[in-house]
Amino acid sequence: MNKFDDIKIVLASSSPSRKLLLERAEIDFTVVVSGVDEDTPASFSPKQTVECLAERKADAVLDQCGDSVVIASDSMVSFDDLIIGKPADLEEAKKTLHMLSGQTHKVYTGVCIAYRGKKEVFSQFTDVLFYDLTDEEIDEYTESGESFGRAGSYGFEGKGVTLIKSINGDYSNIVGLPVAETLRKIKAIIE
């Protein structure tokens, strides 16, 4: 019997990637989208930023979720402690990929788990090394449209996987939710 069979779980995210990760882990859940403001102080580190946003997302949906375990998450890319958001346009996407070419950057994911007045907030990062990318590779990738709406101007679970030489850390963290650690923390919080 699955430890989560008797627990209702709510994912406070509309991210298809996060949904897919939980489905692959055979977790039953419903989705309640938070729609919160994602501005944070400029002085925040990447870790502080993702943890703050994950907690803000969880808090925004708690009243709608009754006796459910709420999972909220936020991910971002960081290079030399600079937070790299979603590109505004094609040129910004290309500029970002040129900067990341041949370099190692970090993907941070913050998670907030809330249940019956208890809350656990944590984050994880995974190092990602890009191949040295040619102008042609960057143009081809950005013109695919996959750069848009994605921190760091790439998606790990799509064509963006071809840009990556290696990772050091949790694969699912890069996709948007460190599933194994999240499920272990849920087990601890519901006991």
Given the residues 74, 80, 81, 135, select the one marked as catalytic: 74
CA distances to 47, 89, 94, 105 from 138, rounded to whole Å, are 28, 14, 6, 17
Helices (H), 144-178: 171-175
Angle at 116 between CA 115 and CA 121, to 5 degrees: 40
> Does the annotation mark 74 as catalytic?
yes
CA distances to 12, 34, 101, 146, 188 from 19, rounded to whole Å, are 10, 15, 29, 18, 22
**Cα(142)–Cα(159) distance, rounded to whole angstroms?**
10
What's the token pair of residue 80? 């030399």
Mind telling me the catalytic residues? 74
